[in-house]
Structure 1
Amino acid sequence: MYNVRDMTELLMMGKDDWKSEELTHFHNSLTQIVPYLNQEGTTILREINQEITNRGGLNKMDH
């Protein structure tokens, strides 16, 4: 079940304050639409990827 805050709320805070589930959800969602993202969307995805890396990668966050 989708149990994360929406992007509007999340964009008002640092990626380090996002829950792992939120990072994973939006990483998966944005990755699926990469060809259609504008510059801002690409920047958000890059920041999400960086925060996931900072936390040890997707495999670490699943546990």
Structure 2
Amino acid sequence: MYAGRDMTELSMMSITDWKDVELGYFHHALQQMMPYLNTEGQTIHREIMDEIQNRGGTKELQM
């Protein structure tokens, strides 16, 4: 179970400062809800995916 910072706290900081586990958790959560996300939610998910790729992809995340 995820026990890290919530999206409210994370949204007030740069995505480059998120921990790997936070990126992984919210990527998975938003991926599951993708059909229901509005434009803002889809943008946040895309930024998370971009940051994961910048860190070397999901296999490189330290979860």
Give TM class, smaller chain. Answer: over 0.9
Once superposed, what is the RMSD of the aligned Cα atoms? 1.1
Cα distance in 1 between the residues matched to 2:22 and 2:33: 17
Higher relative contact order (CA 8 A, sep 6+): 2
The alignment partner of 1:3 has SS state of: coil
Alpha-carbon distance, 1:62 to partner: 3.9
Q: TM-score, normalised by structure 2?
A: 0.94
Which runs of 5 or more residues in structure 2 are unaligned?
Answer: none
Which runs of 5 or more residues in structure 1 are unaligned?
Answer: none
Q: TM-score, normalised by structure 1?
A: 0.94
Q: After superposition, what is the alpha-carbon deviation per residue over 1:9-29, rounded to whole angstroms, capped at 9, x for unaligned? A: 000001100000000000000
Cα distance in 2 between the residues matched to 1:21 and 1:3: 10
